[in-house]
Every structure is written in structure tokens, then in C-alpha cells.
A and B are shown apart, each in its own frame.
Chain A
């Protein structure tokens, strides 16, 4: 099973300024990630820049609106994530409990979410085979276009 582990942001992480003691935290996080690697559980671990460097795209019918960060409600934002592979939610929880406090000196929250696996889609896939049929036709179309383009460039 895979779990996405989300570190919730706060006002400080949103400033993008590493506060005092950050080098200590980075070292501790480094050791923690090393531990996760050593037990074969870590798939990915990344930190995210504050929302001031990000953007949102709003979907309303056919309309798309782009909104630049920063965004408010820091507690609803994500500051970083891990992707881990473990046997159960309890194991994920146990590992997260062992992480250093990502926002030292303050309270912080880390959320654990199970990742959908292909098998989870089983029923759905059986019911809509034409989705994959159209996927396949699309890919074949793209392949044909690409081949034609390649032949063109080969000739020139």
C-alpha cells in the first residue's frame, strides 16, 4: 500500500524564510529520510516552495481562471510531502509519529492519505472499457502523427 503524507503549512513556512534552527531541522529531517530509505519504505520526499511562488487554476464550466499565489489559510496549504510504501495505515501512522516536528516550536499537522492503486479501479474499469478504447485510439493517432513528422524531418 502507498500513502501520501502531507505536511501542512503554517505562517512561517509560507514566508519562505527559513527561521532560526532550520539547519538543525534539516539535519534531523535528513536523518529521518535516511531511516525511511534504510527500511525500504521511502518512495519520494519533497518540500514545496511557499504559495507565493505558486498558482491556482479555477475550473468553472468551460472557463479557466488563473490565480497567482500567495494564498491565505496557511493551515489548508501543503508545505511538503512524503510518498511511502507500507503494509497498513497503522504502519504509516507509526512512521509519521517518528518524524521530527516539521514546524519546530509550534504545533503542526501531518496528514496521511492512502494512494489509489490500479486494482482499486477494477470495477470502474470493467464498466467503461470504451474509455480505454478511446485512449488507445488517441495514442495510435498521436503515434501516427509523430511518425509522419519524423519521416518529414528525416527527409529534409
Chain B
């Protein structure tokens, strides 16, 4: 193996092992920031030794052993500073003696719980959304700072700063490294699901930049969603979110045209929808339903996505059912965006006038002020009703609002198309 080959192999090992490593260490040292530092130290050692000695047979165990050794050193150095650290140091050293193998086995059993603890901690509501995303992608997703920066179109130092500040906030707020229980659990789980779906959406419909999609981010979110489904299998909304992401991701191959232009759902070539992902999504949705979670917000959104997935052609879409699902969603998770989507479904089920009546009620909605999809939907409905001047104005307004270059091109094209449809006098 060349040096580059070994480095690529080490990168791959790191991506696989780092979340579990950090999680296991975080439980021992009770501090996510310190855990990551120790894990990074172990990586540095690996980068020094493995090119010579080769990648060990059990790289995870090697990294953990190395990291624990560094932890002991760390606590020894700091023992005069903090009694707690002193105790932890002794604990580690004692275990290092005879029971190392047992400890590793015990850690293995707990690793699922530790990873879950890590997810909850990285998504703690005390952190800003940006911080939660960056920390989760880094610690749980195993992404490098550079990968995160590229995904979110910010500089690497910006992401690095975000992560440093996030770790400091967690330490200062003394956030315990644990899985929340009882009254707190639902809200905390919501926070985790929110982070994952935000990451997915950034990849699925990039809010800014040249590309309309960033598939790697979708893959990362999907992977984290699947991991969470294994870690928290009794939570219906976890399966609901997994289902939603699998089914939406199934359309990735059909959403972009040959010149990189976005293709709307109803115009997509459904032969390019990934049936394996649809199958997985429907299975996850089934699990959500079996757990009694059919009315959860993610499960409802997943059911809407499933309606599209089950239609072999656009005219087979059960729009009435979709409209009803949006009704239900509007009750459990009301928002102007849900109402906007409901308007679209109503227009498909009952005609553009009915849809426009729903959508028109949103024009004064402050939350939708800068949201390009509102004028975009209005533009579409107005065109269908023959109100071409208004339609064109709406598409132009929408184009001005979106920060995504591809989306803007699409909207301007639609404005242009409406202009030519106008009957000439």
C-alpha cells in the first residue's frame, strides 16, 4: 500500500470508528469536548504508526486503548486541579490492570447507548441550530470540518469555530452526557429529529449556491436517521422521519435534468425513482404505524410522500388522500408552510380556484414573507385560472426571493412561459 492508500484507509477507519470512539470516551470522561480531543489524539498516533505497521486487525479497539492511555495521562496532569478528574484517572488506571478485556466487552454492549447519548448531547437545545448541525455532523456523522464547510458553503474556520463554541457551551452549561427520560425526552428527541431533517433538507433542496441538490448531505442525514432508528426502535417518529427521508431520497435520481435544472415532482420520470429506497421507506412507515405513531408529524409527511411513491404516474396520485393528510398535519403541526402545501393538494383534488382560496389566505402571513414557494405556487394556480399577468408577476417575485441559482432559472423560465401563453389581442 502506498502512503496515500494507507491514509485513505485510515480516513475510512476514522469515519467508521470515530462516533463510537467519541461516544465511549464521553461516557468515561463525562465531557464531549474532551472526548473528541482524546479521540483526535488517538488518530494522530494512528497516522504516525499505521503507515509503518499497517492498519491493525481491530482498529476500533486499538484507537480506544490509545485514547484511554491519553485520558490517564490527561487526568494525571490535571489531578491537582480537579478532584473529579483525579477519581476518574484512578478509575481508568485500575481498570487498565486486569479487567481491560471485560471493560472493552462492557463498552461494546453499551456502545449503542453511548451513541444515543452522543446524539442527544450534540443536538441539545441549549445550542444554536447551526451549532447542533455542525456538532452532530462532526461527532456522530464523522464528517471532517472541511466536509461540513463545503456542504454548507461556509469557510472551514467558521465551522471549526462553531464546533469549539458549541463544546464550550455544553461544558459551561454542564450538560450531562445522558439519554433524557421522562418529561424531557419528547422535546429532546424532537430536537434530534429536527437537526437530522434540517441536514437532509439542505442536501435535498439546497437553500443557496449553484447546485440544486447536495446528495452527499442527504446520504449523511439518511445514514444518521437509520442509525437512530436502530438506537431508538420504539420511537414511532424516529421511524417516521427515516421513512420520510428514504422516500424523498428515492426521487434524487429523477429531480435533476441533463443541464442541472430542477424537475418538479409531477414532471419526473418515475422509472428513475429508487424502488429499493421506496421499499425501505414504506417499511419504516409501517413500523411507525405499528408503534401507534400514524398521526405524528413526520409519519404524516412520510405518508404523503408514500402517496406519491405508490402512484405509477402523476394522474394516479390520490390527491384527496394527500389533502386529508395535510388536514391532519395542520392539526398536529400547524404552520404556514403546511397550509401552503395543503393548498397545492386541494388545488389538485378540487381545482385551482379551491387551492387559490387556501393559498390567498397566506399572502399576509409574516412567516412566509421571504419564502419563494408562496409566490411560486400562486403563480402556478393563477396561470391555470388564466390570470396571466398576475401569474407572471408572481413567478418573477418568486425568482427574486430564492437564493438558489438553479431555482431562480426555473422560476424565470416559468415567468417567461406565461408571458408567451397570453392570448394576443
Q: Are these two chains actual partners, yes or no?
A: yes
A binding-site residues for B, Cβ under 8 Å: 37-41, 43-44, 83, 85, 87-88, 90-91, 93-95, 117-119, 122, 125-126, 129, 132, 135-136, 139, 143
B188 at the A/B interface (Cβ < 8 Å)? no
Shortest Cβ distance from residue A30 to the other chain B in the assembled complex, whole angstroms: 14
- Asked whether, in the complex, the Cβ of A136 is within 8 Å of the Cβ of B9, the reply is no
- Asked whether, in the complex, the Cβ of B313 is within 8 Å of the Cβ of A143, the reply is yes
- Asked whether, in the complex, the Cβ of A117 is within 8 Å of the Cβ of B224, the reply is no
A88 touching B8 in the complex, CB below 8 Å, given contacts A39-B16, A118-B252, A118-B272: yes
B375 at the A/B interface (Cβ < 8 Å)? no
Closest to A140 in B: B313
A-B pair number, CB within 8 angstroms? 68
- Asked whether, in the complex, the Cβ of A40 is within 8 Å of the Cβ of B225, the reply is yes
A91 touching B269 in the complex, CB below 8 Å, given contacts A38-B112, A40-B226, A40-B227: no
B215 at the A/B interface (Cβ < 8 Å)? yes
B254 at the A/B interface (Cβ < 8 Å)? yes
Q: Which residues of B contact A93 (CB under 8 A)?
A: 9, 12
Q: Which residues of A contact B224 (CB under 8 A)?
A: 40
- Asked whether, in the complex, the Cβ of A39 is within 8 Å of the Cβ of B11, the reply is no
Q: Which residues of B contact A87 (CB under 8 A)?
A: 12, 15, 216, 219
Q: Which of A39, A119, A126, A129 has the most CB of B within 10 A?
A: A39
Q: Which residues of B contact A126 (CB under 8 A)?
A: 258-259
Partner of A119, one of B11, B112, B215: B215
B101 at the A/B interface (Cβ < 8 Å)? no
Given pairs A85-B219, A118-B252, 15 additional interface contacts (CB within 8 A): A40-B226, A43-B277, A43-B280, A44-B276, A85-B222, A87-B216, A88-B11, A88-B12, A90-B12, A95-B16, A118-B254, A126-B259, A132-B269, A135-B271, A143-B315
| Chain A, interface SS category | helix
**Which residues of B in the span 10-38 have a Cβ within 8 Å of any Cβ on A?**
11-13, 15-16
Q: Can you list 24 residue pairs at the A/B interface with Cβ under 8 Å?
A: A37-B226, A37-B230, A38-B112, A38-B231, A39-B227, A40-B223, A40-B230, A44-B276, A87-B12, A87-B219, A88-B8, A90-B9, A90-B12, A91-B12, A93-B12, A94-B9, A94-B16, A118-B253, A118-B256, A119-B215, A126-B259, A135-B271, A139-B313, A143-B315
Per-position binary interface string of chain B over residues 187-218, scored 1 when its CB falls under 8 Å from any chain A CB and 0 otherwise: 00000000000000000000000000001100
Q: Which residues of A contact B8 (CB under 8 A)?
A: 88, 90
The 7 A-B pairs at the shortest CB distance, nearest first, are namely A40-B226, A118-B253, A40-B223, A90-B12, A126-B258, A91-B12, A40-B227
B binding-site residues for A, Cβ under 8 Å: 8-9, 11-13, 15-16, 112, 215-216, 219, 222-227, 230-231, 252-254, 256, 258-259, 269, 271-272, 276-277, 280, 313, 315
- Please report the C-alpha to C-alpha distance between residue A93 and residue B224 in the assembled complex, in whole angstroms: 21
| Chain B, interface SS category | helix
Closest to B254 in A: A118
Q: Which residues of B contact A117 (CB under 8 A)?
A: 215, 253
Shortest Cβ distance from residue A83 to the other chain B in the assembled complex, whole angstroms: 7
- Please report the C-alpha to C-alpha distance between residue A132 and residue B95 in the assembled complex, in whole angstroms: 65
- Please report the C-alpha to C-alpha distance between residue A81 and residue B101 in the assembled complex, in whole angstroms: 34
A90 touching B11 in the complex, CB below 8 Å, given contacts A38-B112, A44-B276, A83-B276: yes
Q: Which residues of B contact A119 (CB under 8 A)?
A: 215, 256
A91 touching B15 in the complex, CB below 8 Å, given contacts A135-B271, A143-B315: yes
- Please report the C-alpha to C-alpha distance between residue A117 and residue B213 in the assembled complex, in whole angstroms: 14
Q: Which residues of B contact A136 (CB under 8 A)?
A: 269
